[in-house]
């Protein structure tokens, strides 16, 4: 009959109607979770609707590593709240601390998978935000010296790179004689 009936909220004691905004933002535990994670990330969600909260997380300016994680946090919060709701609906218990810990563990695992080269990932969200926003990769420099070829020979030096697979790529090479004179060179960018 296509009749939509809003049911009682399973996650609060006031027996309010269970709407998406109520379940994912307005219940006391949902509100505490959002404020905890948003405050640590420097996001103010006061007076926002659910869509505005998500958009704010997506558009919050941060470095590229933190931004990639921060864009996933709203989905993790909502997924944890949905699991909490269903656990309570089917007779279980799921506290604020369990929900917060579940989200924290998921964020930590995501960072370990996405950035495996970062050795010491903090466990607390506040410290994760600080770590990723201050992250600077270690750069290694190596001195390379061109050695001329043997007499009556040439040397070819080449390099190439690709961004993605498939993706934008480029290559270049040069041919030099025994005195270092350039005989031929070519570069090409492939889209």
98-145: per-residue pLDDT in tens? 999 999 999 999 999 999 888 888 989 999 999 998 888 788 888 888
CB 53 within 8 A of CB 74: yes
CB 29 within 8 A of CB 101: no
Please, what's the b/e burial string for 46-85 (b: 16 or more CB within 10 A of its CB; e: otherwise)?
A: eebebeebbebbeebebeebbbebbeebbebbbebbeebb
* CA end-to-end span of the chain: 53
For 189, the token pair is: 């960018």
Instruction: Give the residue, 21 or 184, on which the prediction is more confident.
Output: 184
Reading phi first (left if > 0) and then psi (alpha if -120 to 50, else beta), residue 121 is in beta
At residue 13, the pLDDT reads: 67
CB 114 within 8 A of CB 132: no
At residue 183, the pLDDT reads: 95
Q: Is the pLDDT of residue 83 over 70?
A: yes
37-50: per-residue pLDDT in tens? 999 899 998 889 99
- Give the pLDDT band of residue 19 (cuts 50, 70, 90): confident
**Domain locations along the chain:** 20-133, 155-190
Cβ neighbours for 66, distance < 8 A, ≥ 6 positions apart: 129, 132, 133
CB 132 within 8 A of CB 152: no
160-171: per-residue pLDDT in tens? 998 877 888 999
At residue 38, the pLDDT reads: 93
């Amino acid at each position: 009959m296509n009749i939509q009936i809003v049911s009682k909220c399973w996650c609060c004691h006031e027996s309010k109607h269970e709407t998406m905004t109520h379940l994912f933002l307005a219940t006391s535990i949902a509100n505490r979770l959002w404020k905890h994670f948003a405050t640590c990330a420097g996001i103010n969600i006061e007076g926002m609707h659910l869509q505005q909260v998500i958009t704010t997380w997506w558009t919050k300016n941060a470095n590229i590593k933190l931004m990639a994680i921060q864009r996933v946090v709203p989905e993790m919060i909502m997924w944890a709240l949905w699991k909490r709701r269903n656990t309570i609906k089917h007779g279980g218990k799921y506290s604020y601390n369990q929900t917060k810990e579940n989200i924290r563990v998921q964020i930590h695992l995501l960072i370990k998978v996405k950035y495996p080269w970062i050795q010491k990932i903090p466990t607390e969200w506040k410290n994760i935000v600080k770590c990723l926003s201050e992250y600077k990769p270690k750069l290694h420099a190596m001195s390379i010296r061109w050695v001329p070829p043997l007499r009556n020979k040439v040397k070819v030096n080449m390099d190439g790179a690709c961004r993605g697979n498939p993706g934008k790529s480029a290559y270049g090479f040069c041919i030099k004689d025994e005195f270092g004179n350039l005989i031929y060179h070519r570069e090409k960018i492939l889209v």
